[in-house]
């Protein structure tokens, strides 16, 4: 058995603190240290940008005794330990690092298995043999073994591989290999898989690079009201199951967080067998999660990840997910936001089994606050916010901290009755003002606010804080898995302190990395300022990463959820995800769902001289590139007459070999129509601006030009094509991470929105409705905006056709 620290009632000071790294006087020294273990420059820079990672990584390097440097492979594993090692088992970390430096733990699968093992046992002693068995210590997987398993997997899936060739999902094949050889080196497995696939299929052909013909998506059957299980949207990409590591509710009897007090006392809160059994009787041993937004603004892409995590886990385990409004601050909350959240949750495809409000529990929370006072764990305080801040900085107790319990009970009752002025008293939890964790500095439980509540009305004039409410309502609703982002990890001790003090059931808390995307901001404070100061056109401005903005821009729930699933729900500190990644997913989705039509954004008039004025041909164009000629619904009519309009950018005065547009004397093909040849140019008075072109068409299509361009035509002589407004959107900010800039508003992209007032479109678009999505051929994906009217259609560009995500390394 191994127990690397004493587990009695008290710990010495030396066991409470990480050893300081000697000689690290500044960031330059730390950078050199991080580079010395083989980290690349970008990873080292990212580590230094995060104080928590810097501290953890420095401590890990010291504990591993590799201050003088080490092999890059070991260094990368040490970095993973610094960012992902379970907080509830830190007493085992130094001993565990010996497995890495000695080469016994040498790859990511072993490391992840170790993290899972330590997370489950926490600070308790462990059996070395059991640990080594669980983590594949001493298991050597030869290249020959890998080759044999890869061969067996390919043989098992051979018919599918031959049918799909290089379009086969290799991830599924690799998953089958990992199932047989969990400790095999991933790089070697991938190389062997690639080699054997190439031996079977030969080199790639042009046909392998062609996009497969995709069937139209069938509508999912409607769910009934009787179906209370959580619904999930379809996801377009299959990746490894992100929910596989979450423990079953029956196992929630371990210590999740040790709480260290400044006097040496340690609390190890955990569910008793009786408490857990009572909880399981209520839940029927099912998973219960919650999505708990505060209704003080519009939801953004980060909330899409939070929904995916909480609703997704419940769906995966056949459980239930609450939509809970965390409405403890009546001054910031509005009914508008409450309605919006419900609407967006529905739009995203999630179905809560129950909608609740934290304010539904105001009476229970008040009653528990009285219990807390009676137990000596809370007191009424009269310090001002400035005094509270000052006392916390100096770790000094409030002068009212030790007032008699009866006195606090009387004052708290007076607070409830409105007998004390706002700002003159708070109820504070009596935690530990000298703790190493500032979230144990006697947090406020209740404050006075003479403000009506949007849901609870004017019944209350005292309101509970987030820190007091959140954990208690989790417990009252019998949440099995309380899931939140990593910035809340430091609040774990106060979360479990309060539940332990009140002898309530303890949910399993787990934090995951936040979702951060380049060239935008996601903080509610910054979003509020953008909207309030009219830098953008409201919460649903298509340039924002609010879910309302993404919906208006033309993004779909399927694409957003596929993107979130691919990003994953790991605990690694969330680095910036490139904007191109989410754009990739909406392209993939709209490519299957959007009809193709022709629109000219910047028209240039072309008069076809060898065609009579009053002749109009109705030609057949395709909504879908793979449509069969017999499918009438997959085609539309487009008029072709003597006057057509092409994109200005599709004409040049000077031709070149790599240019496929129109030029003097050159022929191009008009999509779905005929070849035309430019025979003359009409200039404006300045002799340089091209006003119109004259051309001749080839009705027999005897010429076969390489260039094919889109166009629109007068539907009849002298009548202009359908005019539409098109709004072209680009990145909202010029910098990848504007939040880091002091003057972040100065980084706004002045060209983030360009309005083309009079683009020309084919007639079939005339009857488009709000939300309809199209691919404008050669231009991108566009949707009908809510500003459209019977007289004028307005389109928003969702995303361009060019996918640059595949060219972006890393994120």
User: What H or E segment, with its residue span, contains residue 582?
Assistant: helix 579-593
Closest CA to 460 of 421, 417, 411: 417
Beta bridge partners of 380: 427
Residues 6+ apart with CB under 8 A from 500: 259, 267, 269, 506
Phi (first) and psi of residue 544, to 5 degrees = -85, 155
Beta strands at 675-683 and 690-697: parallel, antiparallel or unpaired = antiparallel
How many of the other CB atoms lie within 10 Å of CB of 524?
Answer: 15
Among 67, 151, 164, 294, the one annotated catalytic: 294
Crossing angle (nearest 10°) for helices 27-36 and 41-48: 140
CA distance 371 to 365: 10
Phi then psi dihedrals of residue 647, to 5 deg: -65, 135
Catalytic residue chosen out of the listed positions 148, 176, 514, 602? 514
Calpha distance 412→247 (Å, rounded):
40
> What kind and span of H or E run contains 709?
strand 708-709
Which helix H or strand E contains 637, and what residues bound it?
A: strand 635-640
Counted residue by residue, the chain has a size of: 811
| Packing angle, helices 301-316 and 557-567, rounded to 10 | 80
Cβ 382 vs Cβ 423: under 8 Å: no
Residue 524: active-site member: yes
| Segments of 256-364 assigned E as strands | 259-260, 266-267, 288-291, 320-325, 354-357
| 647: nearest Cα among 602, 709, 597 | 602
First to last CA, the chain: 41
Report the C-alpha gap between 154 and 152 in whole angstroms.
5
Are 636 and 762 contacting, i.e. CB atoms less than 8 angstroms apart? yes
Tokens of 732: 């909202």
Alpha carbon distances (Å) from 271 to 86, 276, 369, 481, 503: 19, 6, 21, 14, 9
Give the rounded distance of the alpha carbon of 759 from its chain centre.
35
Q: Classify residue 260 as exposed, middle or buried by CB count within 10 Å of its CB (0-12, 13-18, 19+).
A: buried
- Specify whether the CB–CB gap between 644 and 617 falls below 8 A: no
Q: DSSP assignment, residue 657? A: T
CB 196, CB 158: distance < 8 Å: no
- Give CA–CA dist 811/792, Å, rounded: 40
CA distance 145 to 6: 43
Q: Which residues of 336-356 are buried (b: 16+ CB within 10 A; e: fewer)?
A: ebbebbeebbeebbbbbbeeb
To the query of whether residue 285 is one of the catalytic residues in this protein, the response is no
Virtual torsion, Cα 596, 601, 603, 608, nearest 10 deg: -10
Token pair listed for 74: 């070991």
Residue from 190, 416, 524, 723 carrying the catalytic annotation: 524
Per residue, what are the HEC states of 339-365? HHHHHHHHHCCCCCCEEEEHHHHHHHH
d(CA 520, CA 581): 14
Is 294 among the residues known to form the active site? yes
Nearest residue to 10 (alpha-carbon basis) of 266, 267, 268 = 266
Q: What are the residue numbers of the active site?
A: 294, 514, 524
């Amino acid at each position: 058995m191994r127990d690397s620290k004493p587990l009695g009632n008290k710990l010495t000071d030396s066991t409470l603190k990480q050893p300081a790294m000697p000689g690290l006087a500044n960031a330059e020294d730390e950078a050199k240290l991080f580079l010395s273990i083989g980290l690349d420059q970008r990873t080292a820079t990212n580590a230094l940008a995060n104080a928590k990672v810097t501290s953890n990584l420095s401590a890990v390097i010291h504990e591993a005794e590799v201050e003088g440097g080490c092999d890059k492979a070991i260094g990368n594993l040490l970095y993973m330990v610094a960012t992902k090692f379970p907080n509830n088992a830190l007493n085992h970390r130094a001993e565990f690092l010996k497995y890495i430096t000695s080469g016994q733990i040498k790859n990511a699968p072993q490391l992840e298995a170790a993290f899972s093992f330590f997370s489950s046992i926490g600070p308790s002693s462990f059996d070395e043999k059991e640990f080594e068995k669980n983590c594949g210590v001493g298991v050597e997987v030869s290249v020959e073994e890998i080759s044999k398993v890869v061969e067996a997997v390919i043989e098992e899936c051979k018919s599918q591989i031959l049918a799909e060739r290089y379009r086969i999902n290799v991830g599924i094949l690799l998953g089958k290999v990992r199932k047989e050889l969990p400790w095999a080196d991933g790089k070697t497995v991938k190389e062997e898989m690639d080699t054997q696939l190439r031996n079977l299929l030969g080199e790639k052909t042009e046909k392998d690079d062609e996009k497969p013909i995709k069937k139209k998506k069938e509508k999912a059957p409607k769910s009934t009201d009787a179906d209370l299980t959580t619904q999930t949207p379809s996801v377009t990409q299959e990746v490894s199951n992100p929910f596989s590591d979450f423990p079953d509710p029956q196992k929630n009897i371990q210590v999740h967080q040790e709480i260290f007090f400044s006097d040496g006392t340690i609390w190890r809160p955990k569910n008793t067998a009786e408490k857990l059994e009572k909880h399981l009787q209520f839940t029927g041993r099912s998973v219960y999660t919650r999505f708990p937004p505060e209704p003080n603004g519009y939801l953004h892409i980060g909330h899409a990840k939070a929904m995916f995590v909480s609703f997704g886990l419940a769906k995966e385990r056949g459980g239930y997910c609450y939509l809970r409004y965390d409405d403890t601050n009546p001054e910031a909350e509005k009914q508008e936001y409450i309605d919006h959240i419900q609407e967006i949750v529905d739009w995203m495809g999630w179905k809560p089994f129950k909608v609740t409000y934290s304010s539904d529990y105001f009476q229970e929370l008040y009653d528990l606050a009285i219990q807390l006072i009676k137990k000596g764990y809370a007191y009424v305080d009269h310090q001002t916010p400035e005094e509270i801040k000052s006392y916390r900085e100096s770790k000094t107790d409030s002068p009212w901290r030790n007032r008699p319990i009866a006195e606090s009970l009387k004052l708290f009752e007076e607070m409830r009755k409105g007998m004390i002025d706002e700002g003159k008293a708070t109820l504070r939890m009596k935690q530990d003002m000298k703790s190493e964790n500032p979230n144990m500095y006697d947090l406020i439980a209740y404050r006075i606010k003479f403000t009506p509540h949007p849901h609870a009305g004017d019944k209350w004039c005292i309101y509970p804080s987030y820190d007091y409410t959140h954990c208690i309502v989790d417990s009252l609703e019998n949440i099995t898995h309380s899931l939140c982002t990593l910035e809340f990890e430091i609040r774990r001790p106060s979360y479990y302190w309060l539940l332990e003090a009140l002898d309530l059931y303890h949910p399993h808390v787990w934090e995951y990395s936040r979702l951060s995307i380049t060239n935008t901001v996601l903080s509610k404070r910054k979003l509020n300022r953008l909207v309030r100061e009219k830098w953008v056109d409201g919460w649903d401005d298509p340039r924002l990463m609010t879910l309302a903005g993404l919906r208006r821009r033309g993004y779909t729930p399927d694409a957003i959820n596929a993107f979130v699933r691919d990003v994953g729900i790991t605990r690694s500190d969330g680095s910036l995800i490139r904007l191109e990644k989410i754009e990739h997913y909406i392209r993939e989705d709209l490519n299957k769902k959007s009809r193709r039509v022709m629109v000219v954004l910047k028209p240039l008039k072309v008069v076809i001289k060898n065609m009579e004025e009053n002749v109009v041909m109705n030609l057949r164009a395709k909504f879908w590139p793979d449509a069969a000629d017999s499918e009438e619904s997959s085609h539309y009519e487009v008029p072709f007459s003597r006057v057509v309009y092409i994109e200005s950018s599709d004409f040049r005065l000077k031709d070149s070999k790599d240019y496929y547009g129109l030029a003097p004397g050159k022929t191009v093909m008009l999509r779905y129509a005929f070849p035309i040849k430019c025979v003359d140019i009409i200039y404006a008075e300045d002799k340089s601006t091209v006003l119109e072109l004259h051309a001749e068409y080839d009705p027999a299509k005897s010429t076969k030009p390489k260039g094919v361009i889109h166009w629109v035509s007068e539907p009849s002589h002298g009548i202009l094509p359908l005019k539409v407004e098109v709004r072209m959107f680009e990145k909202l900010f010029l910098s990848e991470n504007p939040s880091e800039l002091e003057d972040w508003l100065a980084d706004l992209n002045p060209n983030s929105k360009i309005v083309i007032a009079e683009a020309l479109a084919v007639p079939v678009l005339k009857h488009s409705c709000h939300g309809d999505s199209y691919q404008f051929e050669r231009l991108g994906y566009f949707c009908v905006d809510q500003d459209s009217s019977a007289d004028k259609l307005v389109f928003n560009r969702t995303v361009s056709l060019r996918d640059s995500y595949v060219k972006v390394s890393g994120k």
